Amino acid sequence: MSTNNLLQFCINLTSAEGFPEPKRGKVRDIYELNDKTLAIVATDRISSFDHILGEAIPCKGQILNRIAAFSMEKVTDIIDTHIIDIPHPNITIAHKCEPLPVEVVVRGYLTGHAWREYSSGLRILCGESMPDDMKQFDAFPDPILTPTTKANEGHDEDITHKEIVDRKLISKKLWDEVTDVAFKLFKRGTEVAASQGLILADTKYEFGLLDGKLMLIDEVHTPDSSRYFYKESFETFANTGEEPEQLSKEFVREWLKAHNFTGKPGQTLPMLPDSFRIEVFEKYAQLYRVLTGEEFTPVITPEFDHTLSEILKKYV
């Protein structure tokens, strides 16, 4: 099948016959199958600047779902994950966990939000000290952990370790476990990335509790939750000062900025032309190949909602 034909098989809003409407996130539809089990559907929706774009990206959902499964398999000796089964490339059957109310961001390099704060003159981020005289893309002496609150709408907000405990969002004992696991996960992610010629600059983790036990939920080390650099271009940057190439969805943000959209009030969300949607698909397929070492082969499901309903019935 040609890449242009993939456009007609995008999975946008799902609706499984015989099941209540799902809880819809920016890119996932979540079905509650029973008190203990969820079905998480990775759709082809794409978001940027806290907005869901109007046009879906072919196969994006199954690419990210496969990368998340690949990456979670790499860390099961560190922490249990919420995955029960993956019966379809777009579908993960998962334990229903009680999500912790903070997101955990581990940063190995001064880039992104950390750089924006640093370049404004700040040297403390979420209670973590950042050394003086650092330049953009410099590695921190040791990775730092910068938590954020979880916002239902808009941007997440930075929060310190002390505030998390003082506000009783998470007990000190559990937070200590979270931070210990997060650094171990980042170390593993860094090792896996290095084996593929990549540098893991920063990443986001989400955790939950299952019967009081800490679990890794959501996704891990995907290009939507992480910032990667190609090691080769990073070394070129060190010698020339040219910004290193990222392996992330930064190219979508750049396209939107070039079309005068950064998520600010009053701005009009541009339509993604089919040619760009195909280009984004090809970029995601490249991400899959680089991160997993395997070529991406699309799995086309013409009547996805029917297939979804039949799969979910098996887990109720």
Distance of CA 290 to the CA centre of its chain: 16
Whether the CB-CB separation of 163 and 157 falls below 8 Å is answered with no
User: Are β-strands 83-88 and 51-52 bridged in parallel, bridged antiparallel, or unpaired?
Assistant: unpaired
User: Among the ranges 155-159, 242-246, 298-302, which has the highest mean pLDDT value?
Assistant: 298-302
Task: Give the integer Cα–Cα distance in Å for 153 and 186.
Answer: 27
Q: Domain limits of the chain?
A: 4-96+254-313, 99-240
Amino acid 152: pLDDT: 57
Cβ-count burial 201-217 (b if 16+ within 10 Å, e if not): bbbbbbbbeeeeebbbb
Amino acid 154: pLDDT: 52
Amino acid 79: pLDDT: 98
Task: Give the integer Cα–Cα distance in Å for 72 and 150.
Answer: 22
Q: How far is CA 9 from CA 44, 91, 266, 293, in A?
A: 10, 16, 32, 25
pLDDT, one tens digit per residue, over 173-187 is 999 999 999 999 999
Decide: helix, strand or coil at residue 38: strand
Compute the average pLDDT of residues 270-286.
94
pLDDT, one tens digit per residue, over 103-113 is 999 999 999 89
Give the architecture (CATH level 2) of 99-240.
2-Layer Sandwich (3.30)
Compute the average pLDDT of residues 139-161.
86
Average pLDDT across the chain, whole number = 93
Instruction: Return the bridge partners of 207, or none.
Output: 216
User: Are β-strands 83-88 and 128-129 bridged in parallel, bridged antiparallel, or unpaired?
Assistant: unpaired
**What would the two tokens of residue 212 be?**
């009081």
pLDDT at position 1 over 60: no
Percent of the chain at pLDDT > 90 equals 83
User: Are β-strands 128-129 and 198-210 bridged in parallel, bridged antiparallel, or unpaired?
Assistant: unpaired
Amino acid 250: pLDDT: 78
pLDDT at position 234 over 90: no
Q: How far is CA 278 from CA 3, 67, 170, 231, 255, in A?
A: 7, 19, 43, 26, 14
Compute the average pLDDT of residues 41-46.
96
24 pLDDT tier (thresholds 50, 70, 90): very high
**What would the two tokens of residue 87 be?**
């019966």
**What would the two tokens of residue 62 be?**
């199954």
pLDDT at position 153 over 90: no
Amino acid 232: pLDDT: 87
Task: Give the integer Cα–Cα distance in Å for 30 and 40.
Answer: 5
Amino acid 278: pLDDT: 95
Task: Give the integer Cα–Cα distance in Å for 299 and 311.
Answer: 15
List all residues 6 or more positions away from 228 whose beta carbon is below 8 Å from its beta carbon.
Answer: 193, 198, 199, 200, 201, 246, 247, 248, 291
Task: Give the integer Cα–Cα distance in Å for 103 and 81.
Answer: 16
User: Top-level CATH class of 4-96+254-313?
Assistant: alpha beta
